A and B are shown apart, each in its own frame.
Chain A
């Protein structure tokens, strides 16, 4: 079953708004990854996080590795129409098992 709980499941926002989504688990994770998947394509890696408390940016995207090592969040600032897609968190837990979350579907209205 799913080891990662990702929320929200979907979001409808206006172009220019900021977006926040998160991922939680009952297990400790050693690595957190965030991906974006467009229809008909494989996931594209956006940000990788390697230690608790780490805050990493990639353009308008910022992600953080939670201090408890059981959560992570992704923020997108000043959203644009091409941000539309499904965002997945993923991670390697302390049992050396790799999991994806169930995704957050982002819709941006121009």
Chain B
């Protein structure tokens, strides 16, 4: 079975631009969570999607938004990029009934976003 795949692996954007990051969940997983990991820090929970709806959100402003598609893949969109948005963005998928919960059973390798 394939794991979680994220694209692109690296990205450079200019302050004020918009960016879309993509995530394909592991086969059989229908819940996707997104995290922001600044250099030297632990990941911070952005939000989670289940059955194409947002199912929980961390302390991130509305310019961070997402989508989940019928095949359970997901997008993270960030508008009006700021320099502090530079980070590794991680996607994690989880099977619906797993006791670990929906927050991080299998992680992708992330997208490294640099805002200049």
Contact = CB atoms under 8 A, between A and B. Distances in A.
B32 interface: no
Contact of B109 (A4, A35, A42, A50): A42
Interface in A3-47: 4, 6, 31, 33, 35, 40-45
Interface of B: 4, 35, 41-45, 56, 58, 90, 92, 99-101, 103-110
Interface of B is mostly: loop
Contact of B103 (A2, A50, A92): A92
A22 B106 CA distance: 23
A90 B108 contact: no
Contact of A43 (B43, B44, B99, B101): B43
A16 to B, nearest CB: 28
B10 to A, nearest CB: 11
B4 A96 contact: no
B42 A100 contact: yes
**Which of A33, A40, A97, A98: most chain B CB closer than 10 A?**
A98
